[in-house]
Structure 1
């Protein structure tokens, strides 16, 4: 991932997570609404997503500091693609559940 893309992704993460409480509330309400789960379960899942976003941001920051990313870029992009695929599948399942 080139440094410009790294910086843009980190900026987007920072903007989305600038108000963590609001982020967790919004994500948990979406999960609760789509999956029909309890508010506590939805909040736990949203908290996990928040922690994953933090981990991604830290990884990107480390790569930016070390200038690494040449060899690891392909592996990271593959992981991001797999994560995106998993999120798409989760959204499809949530939509099926909501449609019942």
Structure 2
């Protein structure tokens, strides 16, 4: 029996969630316009004041791929639009620890 151990390194850093969402939207907009499927970003201003410590590029790649697939799927139904909503919710643990739960709809 062979046991294979592996690991993945993440390059985490602090980034602004709103700026990341803007980058994702700009990646999807070209396809959206080409396919004539409107994509609307509908999030609160809190998104732009939220900073996360995470791997920004992985998050952008995941959400960009997701929205790209949604645009292609929506095209099959015609006449629909996509509303992309980001809902951050902050939870405090003591004075120094803050956890942010982010919901993507």
TM-score category (smaller protein): 0.3 to 0.5
Q: TM-score, normalised by structure 2?
A: 0.33
Which of structures 1 and 2 has the bigger CA Rg? 2
Q: TM-score, normalised by structure 1?
A: 0.35
Q: Which has the higher contact order (CA 8 A, sep 6+)?
A: 1
Which structure is higher in strand share?
2
Which structure is higher in helix share?
1
